[in-house]
Structure 1
Amino acid sequence: MYKNTSGKVLRRSIAAGLLAATAMAPAAAHAQSSVEDRLDKLEAMIMALEARMDAQQSAPADPQTQAAVTEMRAAVAETRAVAAKQGELETRVAAVETSDKSGFHIGDTKVTLGGYVKMDAITARTSAGQLGGDTFLRDFLVPSTVPVGTGAGSGWDTDFSARQTRFAIKTATPVGGKTLGTTMEMDFMVTSGGDERITNSYTPRLRHAFVTYDGWTIGQTWGTFFNVGALPDTLDFIGTTPGTVFVRQPLVRYTTKSGLSIAVEQPETTVTTATGGRVTPGDDALPDVVLRFDKKAGKSAFSIAAIGRQLKVANDDFGLGSDSTLGYGVSVSGTIGVGAKDDFRFMVNAGEGLGRYIGLNIVNDAAIDPVTGDLDAIASYSGFAAYRHVWSDKLRSTIAGSYFKADNPVALTSASPTDTVWNALANVIYTPVPKLDLGVEYMYVERENEAGLDGNLQKVQVSAKYSF
Structure 2
Amino acid sequence: MRKPITQLCYGLSYGLTLCALPMSLAAQTFNVGETQVKFSGFFKLDAMVTDTEYGQLDFPARDFYVPSLTPVSGESEGLKYDTHARQTRFIFTTTTPLDNGKSINGHLEFDMMSTAGGDERITNGYSPSVRHAFFTYDRWLFGQTWSTFMDTSSLPESLDFIGNTDGAIFVRQAQVRYTNGNFQFGIENPQTTLTPFGGGARIVTEDSGIPDLVARYNFKGDWGSLSVAGLARQLSYDTGVVDESETAFGVSVSAKILLSNKDDLRVTFSSGDGIGRYLALNTANDAVVSDDGSLEAITATGAAVAYRHLWNERWRSNFVYAAFDADNNTDYTGAAVTKTTHSGSANLLYQVASKFMVGVELRYANREIEAGADGDMTRLQFTAKYDF
TM-score of the superposition, structure 2-length normalised? 0.91
Number of the residue aligned with 2:4: none
1:339 aligns with 2:260: yes
Whole-angstrom distance in 1 between the partners of 2:36 and 2:194: 45
Tell me how far 1:281 sits from its aligned partner.
Answer: 2.2
Residue in 2 that maps onto 1:312: 236
Deviations along 1:187-226, whole A, 9 cap, x unmatched? Answer: 1112135221111111111111001010111000000001
Question: What is residue 163 of structure 1 aligned with on the other side?
Answer: 86
The 3-state SS of whatever aligns with 1:416 is coil
Question: In the alignment, does 2:358 pair up with 1:438?
Answer: yes
- 1:172 matched residue in structure 2: 95
The superposition leaves residues 232-255 of structure 1 with CA deviations (integer Å, 9 ceiling, x where unpaired) of: 010000011010000000000001
Displacement after TM superposition at 1:402 (Å): 0.3
Match of 1:267 in 2: 190
Distance in 2, matches of 1:268 and 1:464, equals 36
Please show how residues 374-389 of structure 1 align to structure 2 within 5 Å. 374-389=294-309
Q: CA deviation at 1:306?
A: 0.3
Tell me the residue number matched to 1:125.
51
2:208 aligned partner: 284
Q: Find the residue that maps to 1:137 and give its secondary structure.
A: coil
CA-based RMSD = 1.6
Output aligned runs, 1:287-302, within 5 Å.
287-302=211-226
Deviations 1:164-207 (CA, angstroms, capped at 9, x unpaired): 11111110112222221001111111213522111111111111
Residue in structure 2 matched with residue 352 of structure 1 by the alignment: 273
The one-letter code of the counterpart of 1:353 is G
- After superposition, residues 130-145 of structure 1 pair within 5 angstroms as 130-132=56-58, 135-145=59-69
- The percentage of counterpart residues that share the same residue type is 43
Give the aligned partner of residue 405 of structure 1: 325
1:425-447 Cα offsets, whole Å, 9 max, x none, are 00000011112110000000011
Greater Rg over alpha carbons, structure: 1
Give the helix-richer structure, 1 or 2: 1
Q: Deviations over 1:351-406 (max 9, x none)?
A: 00001100110010000013x21100000111100000011121110001001010
154, 162, 168: which is aligned to 2:77?
A: 154
Q: Which letter maps to 2:357?
A: D
> Cα gap change, 1:124/1:193 in structure 2, threshold over 3 Å: closer, same or farther?
closer
- Greater RCO between the two (CA within 8 Å, min separation 6)? 2
Map 1:197-208; keep pairs closer than 5 Å. Answer: 197-208=121-132
Equivalent AA in structure 2 for residue 442 of structure 1: L
Deviation at 1:96, TM superposition (A): 8.9
* Distance of 2:131 and 2:385 partners within structure 1: 19
Q: How far off is 1:314 after superposition?
A: 1.2
Shift of 1:99: 6.8
Which residue identity is paired with 1:153? S
Partner of 2:374: 454
Gaps of 5+ in 2: 1-20
CA distance in 1, matches of 2:66, 2:117: 20
**In 2, Cα distance between the equivalents of 1:220 and 1:106?**
23
SS in 1 for 2:192: coil
Higher strand share: 2
1:229 Cα offset (Å): 1.4
In structure 2, C-alpha distance between the alignment counterparts of 1:403 and 1:248, rounded to whole Å = 21
Name the residue aligned to 1:43.
none
Does 1:224 pair with 2:131? no
1:320-375 deviation digits (Å, cap 9, x = unpaired): x21111111000012110003100001100100001100110010000013x2110
Aligned structure 1 segments of 4 or more residues deviating by more than 3 angstroms: 95-102
Separation (CA, whole Å) in 2 of partners of 1:385 and 1:154: 32
Superposed counterparts of 1:185-264, under 5 Å: 185-256=109-180, 258-264=181-187
Are 1:276 and 1:415, in contact at CA under 8 Å, matched by a contact in 2?
Answer: no
